[in-house]
Structure 1
Amino acid sequence: MTWEAGVRVRGGGALVRWFAAALAVVCAVLAVPPAAAAAENEDDVAGIVVVGVPGLAWTDIDEAVTPNLWAMAGSGASASMSVRTIGSWTCPEAGWLSLGAGERAGGAAPRDAQCAAQSQLPAPAEDGGGWTAEGWDALVEANESFNYGARLGSLADALATMAVEEEAAAVEAEAAGEPVVEPDPGACVAGIGDGAALAAADTEGRIAFWAPDLGALGAAMAACDVVIVDPGVVVGDAADEAPDTSTDYDQLGQDDVGVGSDDPSGEVDAGEIEPEPDAVRERAAGAADAAVGEVRAALPEDWRLLVAGVADASAPSALHPVLYEGAGVETGELTSATTGRDGYVQLVDVTATALDAVGADVPATVAGAPIQVLPDAGRTSGSAVAQGIDETAASQAVISVSFVFYSVLSGLGVLGVAAAVWLLCGPDRFRGLARAVCLAVASIPVAGVAAGIPHWWRADDPPLAFWAIIAAGVAVLTAAASLPWTRQGARPVWVIAGAAALLIAVDQVSGATWPLHTPMGYTAQAGARFTGLGNYAFAVFAAAVVLLVAFLPWRGRARVWGPIAIGVCAVVIVGAPNLGRDMGGTLTLVAAGILCCWKLWGRRLTVKAVVVAGGIAFAVFAVGGFLDYLRPQEDQTHLGRFVGSVLDGTAMNILIRKADAAIGTIGRPLTWISLAALIGAIVIWRKRAPIRSTEVAAAVIGLTTVAVVGAVVNDSGIAVTGFCTALGFGLLAVAVGPRTERAEPATPDPVATAPTSGN
């Protein structure tokens, strides 16, 4: 009896034990906590002042023009910040509201290309007993339609809750005869300036302390432990100089509404927007710097100061600086658990940081995590600013090439599908060319991952440098898969799929740095995910793993443990909290791997098998998420936070956003390669069915699972199918190869074979 037959007939118990052991390994790895970014600061901090400057960019920080900001960049810690909230750029009204909510929030005023409407913020109304933000009900109503679950005023409410809890604790201690700790009288948020009023308001729109200018800074710090300051400056074009204030924002850039969505809706086009005059920017930046200097001069030794560019001044968006100094803050870089990457934070992290600095609990309604300091005594103002400028340039360069990359990949992908159909079903003519096209198209996403290794955005012509890298990568991989000793059978699959899997695995293990600055990953300013495995890279990685599992030449018992070993390693890379952190990818890859192996081992693919595979995938997803949820909140990945949202009843908003984002990908460039793959598969099935090879059947089932399930459970939707097709369709056709028809015996020539009469 052959090994394959043994697996089919009497290997059921062994397979169950193998799967159980594999899942145990996966769950154990998923339980490993991510590396801590930095130790928590134990210094007593009396309070924190947050100065928000909409439009502030790294290029505005100059030793001569903004000396206070320049000094902070060298004396404290800094990072680049994504201000992404609702849509592809964030105007001031939305930025201030998001700061107060700790979640992505939008403004009620129209969002035009120059943010003119959302920059004109009214002062709060005073009613004798306090202040109330103008138009608060309209702001709450507007955010109810965004499905982000933003609870406006969460910052102020968290401090009010702390005050109530401290008061209750004092009463209990007094009743029990224990030492009484006096409640903090400053457990509130004070606002200075019109924009700060939106961030300082509680859920009812009321503000504990407000003043129009910095003349009341001392009183504000005496009243509240958290002070939000709006210097009244937007660093960018003045409203009367904006050349295009009526442009609808959906016509510019990307406008993804789903958390984690990184599929752009179109190439960023600044339209009529022109660069701001230097004099205008310098005056605005100088005014903001003067306000920062006034705050620094008045800041007590036990307080902290955080300065942040809390919004964009116009489209397109960009990264903005965050500068942090004061009690217990060392010189260095900043990071947070929401980014997992050194030197990057998000706007919602500022909310959590303010609460953490004064000892308040971060509520579940706040999506951010406290900013942490990574000490670096050698960091200078010049190096911090240069790094911020480079990070901003990288993120903007990625956006400038992304739409073209997706369009080219989709167009060539359609051609690749046609070449695959020709290779499998067409005549002998041009089969060599069809094979080369299949290999070249499969190499494009692999070259896209590798493009992040060189710093192409620093070139004089970044788009030209990017496309030169893509062309070189495609040429090298295509040639490597066409050599005399690699072109036979499934060997081209080993070369290209192996290169894809190896590149992405090495990148994840080494810190996930390569796809970040390519269209294969998330741009930092999108605020989706700064580290881990993005949906596009996941689709390529999963397709590569399926092809390797199906077509590697397994022998004997290795036919069982080999695919399981590869599958376990792949799932760990995708789902581990200190590696891929991809919850949708984990679910997809587990299901695809099980079904692929099931068929590879000669088992029938039944409805029961599909249900079992789905159940196991969901179990791994649930166990990994629950283990992540049990960690401290500052250590949780988005998987653990999603479990928390399930428990507190807010998960539906996340699911709705993801579904909206996935549906929104239909009609974008990668739709066409996906549609071509469906048509091509039907043509091939009609002409080449049935599939007699277990390896081919396993690959087809695995790739189909990645393409379908991945599109359903990830907010990148049809893009997952597109990238899976780009790598997998042509390679599968090359592995199968053209049909070789059996030659019919020649019909004897009756004349030639007729007996001749002798003479």
Structure 2
Amino acid sequence: MIRRIVPYVLVVLSLAGGLAALSVRPATAETKRSADYVVLVGIPGLRWEDVTEQGTPNLWRLAEHGSIGSLSVRSALKPTCPVDGWLTLGAGNFAGWRRSTPVTAACPPLTVDVQRPDGIGAFLPDLDRQAVQYNQRSQTWGAVPGALPESVRCTAAVGPGAAVAAARPYGRVDTYEPQLPDDPRKLLSECTLSMVDLGAVSGEDPVARQTAAARADAVLARVLAARPDNSLVMVAGLADTDQTSRLHVAIADGPGWDGGWLTSPSTGRDGYIQLVDLAPTALTTLNRPLPERRFVGQPATSVAGRPERLPDAVSFPADADREAGAQRSVATWFFGVLAAVQLVLAIVVVPLLRRARRHVGDERSIPKPISDAVELLLLASALAIPAALVADLVPWWRGGQPGWLFAAVLVFVLAAGTAAVRLVPAFRRTLGPLAMVVTVAGAVVGLDLLTGARLQLNGVAGYSVLDGNRYAGVGTVGLGVFLTGVLLGGGVLAQRFAKSWRPLVMAVLGGVGVFLVGSPYLGSDPIGAVALTAGVCIATALSTGGWLTLGRLAAASVAGVAVTSVFAWIEVRHPAAERGSLGRFVEALGDGTGGTTLQRASKANLDALVGSPLTFLAVVGAALLWLALLRDWGGLRRAYGLYPSVRAGAVGIGVAVVLGGLLGGTALDLAGAAAAVVAPMAALTALRVLDHASDFTRPAQPAPQVDAEGVGAA
């Protein structure tokens, strides 16, 4: 009984012991940022490339004095048109204005019926039907349009877009002007919260964009001249203007917002904030409480580290916008080509598997040049995603043809990586290629996490801030590759130890992996850490061989629940603004909104299932495993029998990707990223095992004959 319990005790101690260090965060002194007035200025479509010292001098001076960042304008709809951006600002949550037709090109003009029955305020008769009811019945975010103005006594609005954000849920705007008065001092000081619509900057024509930006800048000059004392002015390019998603301008100028980067706990990345962060920032600055369960954003703050010269500082968000814009199209064709290549390789491998096994004395049934070429192709295919991550070290997005430049860099990195693995003497061993590939894959992602996850930020094999799902830490693709490196790498390493030591090897290596994924300073993905924990528990249970019995499954489940409970305890101990997805889910279960959270996760799973090329990679990998490699002639069963720790790691990967996909709302994306590495290496290992089958199953030698004198016959 003690021997049976020891592996699970090791898992709990290795994982939970390391995670306990995360429960205490270092104390950070934060400057008190408060103001008597907040003025939110919206310029939909404004990008950092539109802000220049000569063309927009007022924006430029505001950026010099204040804090700046890149604004992600995600809303409940895609794309986020100006009316959706203004509505999301007023809701403090992902909201959208009901659309009669989908947006196929440019966003429609912002035409909202704004009535002024008393000449002081305004009334939006369409708000209830087009926004309030639509978001409550057709969306899963629980957005309440007007939650921001409902949280203050008085709100002033200038322009139709500002009226959408400043309207209370029943459509009333406290104070409204269709255009900014020549002297807006009285208007801006009448209410503690004011919103100003300066029009949109749209299109891709540089001249037209500069003209529109200069027009908005001229009106902004009057706002800045009339701003009340002790006020915070925030300028935001709070929407896209067509189907092309981009990063936009965010500037905050006021007491305590001098010369830094904007950031928020919702992004966890210096220089990035979300549109939904603006509402809680305004209320926090005004020392007003945030409405419970209505805001999904977090108050923005200003952090040091910005270059002293504004041209140098502006180049960072402008460059991030270019990279994020190029990443989306390049990532689509990269994963599409990778899926096609792996499908072709899967088809080619099947007949080779049926001919690979040879007996003692038989000649090779597969010519060596063919087997060598297939091995190299499988090796390169498995290294494609790690190579794509490394390729982001080169600023390929700055070229005139970013797609072709990325392809050239990727081919070079992939060729160098494949050649390096091929030339290592260990490559000739049966598990040599598998060991080196999963080590490289895990090391690339692990080192990236230790250095700030810069390769995954807006990377082709990472995540885009335009999606608004993740801004820091490990992404879905990186997590799939990393857990493959941890679990399969742990299996290969454990195989080199005596059977009694294998659980310890798996537990320790898994503990390091869970720490990297779950740490709020590194991977910042508690859901991924829980999934990896489950995989480590199963892999530890099976590392000594045998089957996944009911007893082993129960003990592994108990260990997994114990570590997950540690994660949940750590998360809920943090302030609400610093909790991750696991902590927010536990909080939702406690306050009765867990059903909405599960509904949102289900919708995310469905969207990811039908709209991601990673789903095809997962299907191709599963088909290759089930229809070929796991057959009697496929070779993988034999490999699992010879190397039980490798089988344990593979089973752990299956558990981790299924659990992580379901809980994280990524469906088969996580499985697809793991399959991109696992499937080619499983095929290569099976070919190696079949080709060397005679090394392990030699026919029995006949007993020597003995003559009458007891002398053996010659």
1:60 aligns with 2:27: no
Structure 1 residues 746 and 486: CA distance shift in structure 2, 3 A: closer
* Matched residue, 2:659: 709
Residue 109 (structure 1) shift: 3.6
Report the number of matched residues: 671
Match of 1:80 in 2: 70
Instruction: Name the structure 1 match of 2:705.
Output: none
Give the match for residue 151 of structure 2.
158
**CA separation of 1:542 and 1:309: change in aligned 2, threshold 3 A:** same
1:500–1:377 Cα change, 3 Å: closer
Return the match for 1:195 from 158, 161, 172: 161
Residue number in structure 1 paired with 2:103: 112
Q: Does 1:465 align with 2:405?
A: yes
Are the aligned partners of 1:74 and 1:384 in contact in 2 as well (CA < 8 Å)?
Answer: no
Q: CA deviation at 1:680?
A: 1.8
CA distance in 1, matches of 2:623, 2:441: 26
Q: What is the rounded CA distance, in whole Å, between the counterparts of 1:728 and 1:377 in structure 2?
A: 42
- The residue that corresponds to 2:605 in the other structure is 662
Percent identity (aligned): 29
Does structure 1 retain, via aligned residues, the 8 Å contact 2:265–2:298? yes
CA distance in 2, matches of 1:605, 1:75: 63
Checking the alignment, whether the CA contact within 8 Å between 1:125 and 1:134 is kept in structure 2 is no
**In 2: Cα distance, 1:536 partner to 1:466 partner:** 18
Counterpart in 2 of 1:491?
432
3-state SS, counterpart of residue 251 of structure 2:
strand
Residues 320-373 of structure 1: CA deviation (Å, up to 9, x unaligned): 011111222211211111111111111011111101111012233111111111
Equivalent in the alignment of 2:706: none
Report whether the alignment pairs 1:339 with 2:262.
Answer: no
Q: Which has the higher contact order (CA 8 A, sep 6+)?
A: 1
2: distance between equivalents of 1:332 and 1:663?
Answer: 40
Range that drifts further, 101-110 or 454-463: 454-463
Measure, in 1, the Cα distance between the counterparts of 2:170 and 2:176: 15
Summarize the Cα distance change of 1:78–1:97 in structure 2 as closer, same or farther, 3 Å threshold.
same
Give the corresponding residue for 1:576.
519
Secondary structure at 1:548's aligned position in 2?
A: helix
The residue identity in structure 1 corresponding to 2:641 is R
**Amino acid paired to 2:110:** S
1:542 and 2:483 correspond: yes
Partner amino acid for 1:475? A
Taking the TM superposition and a 5 Å limit, the aligned residue runs for 1:663-742 are 663-667=606-610, 668-682=612-626, 683-688=628-633, 689=637, 691-693=640-642, 694-736=644-686, 737-739=688-690, 740-741=693-694, 742=697
Match of residue 380, structure 1, among 301, 306, 309: 309
Per-residue deviation, 1:418: 3.8
Hey, what's the Cα distance between the residues in 1 that align with 2:274 and 2:603?
23
Instruction: Give the conservation status (yes or no) of the 8 Å contact 1:124–1:197.
Output: no
665 and 303 in structure 1: CA distance in 2 versus 1, 3 angstrom threshold: closer
Query: 3-state DSSP class of the match of 2:414?
Result: helix
**1:419–1:437 Cα contact (<8 Å) kept:** no
Counterpart in 2 of 1:19? 11
List per-residue Cα deviations over 1:403-442 (Å, max 9, x = no partner): 1011011111223434554564433413323222221111
Unaligned runs of 5+ in 1: 1-8, 160-186, 238-274, 748-759
The amino acid across from 2:180 in the alignment is L
For 2:488 and 2:412, how far apart are their aligned partners in 1?
Answer: 24
Question: In structure 2, how many angstroms separate the alpha carbons of the residues matched to 1:149 and 1:45?
Answer: 29
The equivalent of 1:205 in structure 2 is 171
Q: 1:650 aligns with which of 570, 585, 593?
A: 593
1:506 to 2:447 alignment: yes
* Aligned equivalents of 2:167, 2:401: Cα separation in 1: 46
Residues 420 and 362 (structure 1 numbering): CA distance in 2 closer, same or farther, change over 3 Å? farther
Letter in 2 for 1:518: G
The answer (yes or no) to whether the contact 2:114–2:123 under 8 Å persists in 1 is no
Q: Find the partner of 1:69 among 46, 59, 76.
A: 59
**C-alpha distance after superposition, 1:44-63 (max 9, x if no partner):** 41111010011111121122
Which SS does the other structure have where 2:156 is aligned?
Answer: strand
Where 1:620 maps in the other structure, the secondary structure is helix
Q: TM-score, normalised by structure 2?
A: 0.88
Assess, with a 3 A threshold, how the Cα gap between structure 1 residues 236 and 67 changes in structure 2: closer, same or farther: same
Q: Which is further off, 474-483 or 13-22? A: 13-22
Partner of 1:441: 381
Aligned to 1:148: 141
Unaligned runs of 5+ in 2: 357-364, 703-714
> Counterpart of 1:721 in structure 2: which amino acid?
A
- Does the CA-based 8 Å contact 1:703-1:728 persist in structure 2? no
Report the equivalent of 1:750.
Answer: none
The one-letter code matched in structure 2 to 1:150 is A
1:48 paired to 2:15: no
Who is 1:755 aligned against? none
Deviations for 1:238-270, whole angstroms, at most 9, x for unmatched residues?
Answer: xxxxxxxxxxxxxxxxxxxxxxxxxxxxxxxxx
SS for the counterpart of 2:641 is: coil
Rate the CA distance shift 1:719–1:191 in 2: closer, same or farther, 3 A. Answer: same
Question: How far apart are residue 229 of structure 1 and its match?
Answer: 0.9
Q: What secondary structure is seen at the aligned counterpart in 2 of 1:355?
A: helix
Q: Distance in 2 between matches of 1:565 and 1:703?
A: 17
- Within 1, Cα distance between the matches of 2:296 and 2:134? 19
294, 299, 302: which one aligns with 1:365: 294
3-state SS in 2 of match to 1:704: helix
C-alpha distance in structure 2 between counterparts of 1:699 and 1:564, whole Å: 11
* Equivalent AA in structure 1 for residue 196 of structure 2: V
Q: Using the alignment, how far apart are the partners of 1:379 and 1:124 within structure 2? A: 47
3-state SS, counterpart of residue 41 of structure 2: strand
One-letter amino acid of the counterpart of residue 199, structure 1 = A
Measured after TM superposition, the shift of residue 10 of structure 1 is 5.1
Give the match for residue 346 of structure 2: 417
The equivalent of 2:257 in structure 1 is 329
1:229 counterpart = 2:178: no
User: Closer, same or farther in 2 for the Cα pair 1:536/1:376, shift >3 Å?
Assistant: closer
Three-state SS of the structure 1 residue aligned to 2:93 is coil
Q: 1:743 to 1:83 in 2, by over 3 A?
A: same
* Among 272, 277, 284, the residue aligned to 1:349: 277
CA apart distance, 1:532: 0.9
**How far apart are 1:103 and its partner, in Å?**
0.8
- Structure-to-structure mapping, 1:240-279, within 5 angstroms: 275-276=204-205, 278-279=206-207
Secondary structure, aligned partner of 1:49: strand
Give 1:555's aligned residue.
497
8 A contact 1:124–1:133 mirrored in 2: yes
Paired residue secondary structure (1:119): coil
- TM superposition score normalised by structure 1: 0.83
Query: Which residue of 1 is the match for residue 708 of structure 2?
Result: none
Assess if the C-alpha contact under 8 Å between 1:596 and 1:698 holds in 2.
Answer: yes
Paired with 2:23 and 2:246, the residues of 1 have a C-alpha distance of 35
CA contact (8 A) 2:544 2:645 kept: no
Of 118-127 and 83-92, more deviation after overlay is shown by: 118-127
